[in-house]
Structure 1
Amino acid sequence: MSPRTDLYDLLFSYVRLYDDEVMPFAEFAAVWCEGIGVQEVAKRLGANPESARKCRLATVVDDLEMNVGDGLLLVGPAGAWTLALQVAGYDCTLEENISRLSDGGGRALSISWCFKGNTDLIYAVDGEIVTRFEITYPEPQSGSAPDALDPLMEGLRFQLDEDDPIVEESLNSAFVLAGRITGQEIDRTWLDSPHTRFVIPHS
């Protein structure tokens, strides 16, 4: 059976937006939030509300004013959840921010990787980190309930052996898992639709 990489491939097709032809798709950061809307997600991540602008991912850097070290978000509804895609920075992957995004009885799920080799999936419920693992090496898992997501991971492949080193399949499995948790996989409709851009000032 061919490995499933369709969601990774979809996101990879937007790699030109990251302006990195030497190491394409070298980094990625996103968080899905349940129970709070676009403005509240941006607020909890420390974004400047006055920086809000409607745009698509393809135009997210157009007419943009930001300083070195600032974060850049694109936030929009994703089914019953809200998705924040971070184009610059890693604010949405910090444990304290993921906990904050799930405060008040909600849930938050973050997926990220970077050129240094870190590939993290973090799941929080009501302000508590429930499960955290490295996508390409998910054992051991940590958090207050490390195996909480195990029932949803059936059929997914994360840690691949040396004879089957397809990192893309591991990352794709993380996106499939996100879809199982939120009820909706990331798709081209979301990526091509207008959402709200926010700048997170560097502190």
Structure 2
Amino acid sequence: MINDTFAYYQDLLAGALEHISDALTWTVIQPITGTPTLAELMERMGLQETDLEPARPVDLTGELEEGMFVGRSGSSFIVFEPNGYQTSLAEVLLRLSAGARACSVSWGVTTPGDLLYAVHGRMVTSLAIYSSEWRFGAQPYALDEELTVLERVAAPEPGHPDLHTAAAMAVVEAATGVRLDLDWLAQPQTLVRREAKVPRLDLPTGGLSELDPDLDARLRLADPSVQALAVQRAVTEVLTQHELLNEPSVRAGLDLLASGQLAAYPPGLVGRDSLTYRLQGDYEARRFEVPGDQDPRRARWQAAQALVSAFGVYLYRYDVFQPLVSVYFAAGDQWPRVRRALKGLLG
């Protein structure tokens, strides 16, 4: 069934939406408690009724540079934004999901695509459509079944179409039961000026702030020396858990991490034929055999990746707690033990 849906969106993007398919956002809002009016939805998006313009069909020629189209599909609302992104902002989508569920897919010409799913004002699942195995939110795997179509899309090759956007649209339909069809696009829909947007808040997205917001906040309030010790402790914990301490590149990396000498990766940690490359290959070769959160090969790879990310903090200015994202996935059901150890460092 979802394969048919995937094919439908491939045809839609290559056909009717061809001229606007490079950058758009499609959001579905399904009220659970009550039925918000259009004016209430506008308010949640930081807009007013004075921002409305006469209803019109969606311009599929690419001539309309900016515009948000809002309309109904059964009991649901659809927001369609050619070359727009307002409903993909976390602070807007969370407001739209108050007393409702909201699912949004968005991509741009120079920005990677995202898929977000919020319910009752909480972000349930968020992911980049090109890296669907890395999911964040209150229930990262709530859309496991729907996301299978996106997980099976291979990286595009030169001369071949990129199928991630069509697959992500198929996920939205599978999750909500709402289809973006030509009849809806052809009917007059409310047109909204996009200039009056909600000011974008400095909200942390992804990373430890979504996986474990409490620990993230506690660590960010700590002294930098304690932060560095926490990362070192956590990385060592998962490398020990996955019996990687005897790997020469791991021993050398931990020595450098302890001494603060992170000017370059130790030999054998990254690059072709390295430990991390080999562990990633082991995982990807059989990645669809079991769910990612139950796959010991992924956890083992992420243990090595945690050490790699620790170097990235210094070499590429990663967020200081980026290694803890890999630690989280490497630890699996041992994460509560790891976080207790890190909290213990905070006094």
TM-score in same-fold range (> 0.5): yes
Per the alignment, residue 85 of structure 1 pairs with 80
Change in CA separation of 1:164 and 1:196 when aligned onto 2, cut-off 3 Å: same
Matched, 1:127 2:121: yes
Q: Which structure features the higher share of helix residues?
A: 2
With 145-154 and 165-174 compared, the bigger mean Cα shift is at 165-174
Alignment of 1:29-68 (within 5 A): 29-35=25-31, 36-52=36-52, 53-58=54-59
Per the alignment, residue 137 of structure 1 pairs with 131
Q: Which structure features the higher share of strand residues?
A: 1
Offset of residue 77 of structure 1: 0.6
Offset of residue 195 of structure 1: 1.0
DSSP 3-state at the match of 2:150: coil
Give the number of the structure with larger relative contact order, counting CA–CA contacts within 8 Å between residues 6 or more apart. Answer: 1
CA distance in 1, matches of 2:73, 2:166: 18
Partner residue of 1:97 out of 78, 83, 92: 92
Alignment of 1:1-203 (within 5 A): 4-12=6-14, 13-16=16-19, 18=20, 25-35=21-31, 36-52=36-52, 53-58=54-59, 72-103=67-98, 105-154=99-148, 156-158=149-151, 160-162=153-155, 168-202=162-196
CA distance in 1, matches of 2:137, 2:161: 24
Percent identity among equivalent residues? 25
Change in CA separation of 1:163 and 1:30 when aligned onto 2, cut-off 3 Å: closer
Offset of residue 79 of structure 1: 2.7
Per the alignment, residue 328 of structure 2 pairs with none
1:32–1:108: 8 Å Cα contact kept in structure 2?
A: yes
Offset of residue 89 of structure 1: 3.1
* Structure 2 unaligned spans of 5+: 198-347
- Provide Cα deviations, 1:110-141, integer angstroms capped at 9, x if missing partner: 10011124110000010000000111211210
TM-score, normalising length from structure 2?
Answer: 0.48
CA distance in 2, matches of 1:122, 1:56: 26
TM-score, normalising length from structure 1?
Answer: 0.78
Per the alignment, residue 201 of structure 2 pairs with none
* Structure 1 unaligned spans of 5+: 19-24
Superposition RMSD in Å: 3.1
Change in CA separation of 1:196 and 1:2 when aligned onto 2, cut-off 3 Å: closer
2:153–2:167: 8 Å Cα contact kept in structure 1?
A: no
Change in CA separation of 1:42 and 1:58 when aligned onto 2, cut-off 3 Å: same
CA distance in 2, matches of 1:157, 1:120: 12
Offset of residue 73 of structure 1: 0.9
2:104–2:115: 8 Å Cα contact kept in structure 1?
A: yes
2:83–2:108: 8 Å Cα contact kept in structure 1?
A: no
2:29–2:77: 8 Å Cα contact kept in structure 1?
A: yes
Asked which structure has the greater CA Rg, the reply is 2
Change in CA separation of 1:160 and 1:197 when aligned onto 2, cut-off 3 Å: same
Change in CA separation of 1:61 and 1:160 when aligned onto 2, cut-off 3 Å: closer
1:48–1:198: 8 Å Cα contact kept in structure 2?
A: no
CA distance in 1, matches of 2:156, 2:69: 38
- Provide Cα deviations, 1:5-45, integer angstroms capped at 9, x if missing partner: 431431442343x4xxxxxx321112111113433322211
CA distance in 1, matches of 2:108, 2:60: 23
CA distance in 1, matches of 2:175, 2:155: 29
